[in-house]
Amino acid sequence: MDILAVLNLSEIALYFSKMSMFPLFDLAYYIVSILYLKYEPGSVEVSRRNPIASWMCAMLYCFASYIMADILLGESPLHYFNNTSHILLATAVWYLIFYCPLNLFYKCVAFMPVKLILTAMKEVVRVRKISMGVVHAHHAYHHGWIIMALVGWAKGAGVALISNFEQLIRGVWKPETNEFLNMSFPTKASLVGAVIFTLQQARWLPISKHNVVFLFTIFMVVTKVFMTATHSHGSPFAPIEAFICPIIFGNACGIYDDHDRVCSRDNVQSCTPSNLSPYSAKTKEELNEGTRKKKCKKTE
C-alpha cells in the first residue's frame, strides 16, 4: 500500500486499530441505534405501556449483532450480556431517550450536528464489529470462508437482518418485506465489508488488516454521514449493481425492466393487468411507495 505509506497513514491506521471502543464509541452506537428505534412507528406507545417490551427491542437494536453472531457460531445468544456494564449503559441510553423529562436527551442527540458526529462514531464501531466477527468465525472455522462472511455480515448489519422478529416483540408484523428483500445501505455495505475482511483473512488481499479496517471505516463514515446530512437514500452501490446485475442475473432482469419501462411512460394503474400475480403486481408499488417509506425507515 504505497499510497498509505506516502501519506504516513499506515501508522495512523495502526494507532486507530488499537483505539478502545468502550465506552465512548459504544455509547454513540447505542444512542444512534435507540434513536432509530424511537423513529419506528408505534415504538413510543410501546415504551409507555410496555417498558419491558420496549427495553427488549432496545437491547436488540444495540446487541442483535452479538446475539446473531453467537447463535450462528453455536454459542449462547446471551453471551454478550455477561458484560453487565455495556448492558447498563445501553439501558441508561434507552431510558434517557424514551423517558427523559421534556424529551431533552432525545432533542439533544437528534440535533443534526450532534447526530452526525454520533453517526460517524457508530460507523466506526460497525466496521470494527464486522472485522471482529470475521476473526471470531475464523477462530472456530479456519477454512470456513462462507461462515466468516456470514458472521461478519450479521455483526455489521445487526438488528436489520432480524427486524421482522424485533417488530414482532412490539406487536408489528410485516411479513411481505424483510431486510433480504429490501436491503438498506448499511446492510449491503456490511455484506461487502464482510466479504473484503474475509478475503483479507484468507490472505487473498495484499493489505494488512488494520489498513483494510481504516480504509473501510473512512468509506463508511463519509458515506453514512453524507447520507444522514442530506437525508439521501440513494445507495452508492446502485451504479455498480446496475452494471453487474444485468451481466450476472441478466437476460431475466430484462423482462421486468421492459415492463417497468412501459409503466413509467403510461398510466401506472393500467399497468397492473389482472392476470399478473399479486406478487409481481406489488413490484411497482414497492418501487414507488417503497422508496418513500424507506426514507423514514431504512437510514439506520
What residues numbered 173-232 form the site for a copy of itself, per CB under 8 A? 173, 175-178, 180-181, 183, 191
Our measurement of the distance from residue 174's CA atom to the centroid of its chain's CA atoms, rounded to an integer in Å, reads 19
Nearest Cα to Cα of residue 196 among 181, 211, 185: 211
Contact window for a copy of itself (CB under 8 A) among 23-31, 125-133, 144-152, 212-220: 144-152
Burial code of 213-243, b = ≥16 C-beta within 10 A, e = fewer? bbbbbbbbbebbbebbeeeebebebeeeeee
Q: Max Cα separation, the chain?
A: 63
What residues numbered 163-182 form the site for a copy of itself, per CB under 8 A? 164, 168-173, 175-178, 180-181
Binding mask 234-273 for a copy of itself (x = CB under 8 A): -----------x--xxxxxx-xx-----------------
Residue 81 interacting with a copy of itself (CB under 8 A): yes
The number of residues making up the chain comes to 300
Residue 85 interacting with a copy of itself (CB under 8 A): no
In the complex, the smallest distance separating the C-beta of residue 239 from a copy of itself, rounded to whole angstroms, is 17
Residue 84 interacting with a copy of itself (CB under 8 A): yes
First to last CA, the chain: 32
Residue 50 interacting with a copy of itself (CB under 8 A): yes
In the complex, the smallest distance separating the C-beta of residue 231 from a copy of itself, rounded to whole angstroms, is 23
Among 1, 117, 140, 225, binds a copy of itself (CB under 8 A): 140
Among 49, 231, 261, 265, binds a copy of itself (CB under 8 A): 49
SS3 sequence, 106-152? HHHHHCHHHHHHHHHHHHHHHHHHHHHHHHHHHHHCCCCHHHHHHHH
- Is the four-CA dihedral 217, 39, 289, 227 of positive or negative sign? negative
Cell of 170: 412490539
Cell of 146: 462462507
| Separation of alpha carbons 127 and 223, rounded Å | 13
**Residue 103: count of CB within 10 angstroms of its CB:** 14
Residue 26 interacting with a copy of itself (CB under 8 A): no
What residues numbered 120-139 form the site for a copy of itself, per CB under 8 A? none
Residue 113 interacting with a copy of itself (CB under 8 A): no
Residue 46 interacting with a copy of itself (CB under 8 A): yes
How many residues form the binding site for a copy of itself (CB under 8 A)?
Answer: 66
Contact window for a copy of itself (CB under 8 A) among 26-34, 104-112, 146-154, 263-271: 146-154
Interacting residues of 89 by C-beta distance below 8 A, sequence separation 6+: 23, 26, 27, 30
| Separation of alpha carbons 266 and 289, rounded Å | 17
Question: Contact positions toward a copy of itself, by CB under 8 A?
Answer: 41-42, 45-53, 56, 70-79, 81-82, 84, 87, 98-99, 101, 140-141, 143-147, 150-151, 164, 168-173, 175-178, 180-181, 183, 191, 245, 248-253, 255-256, 277, 279-280, 283
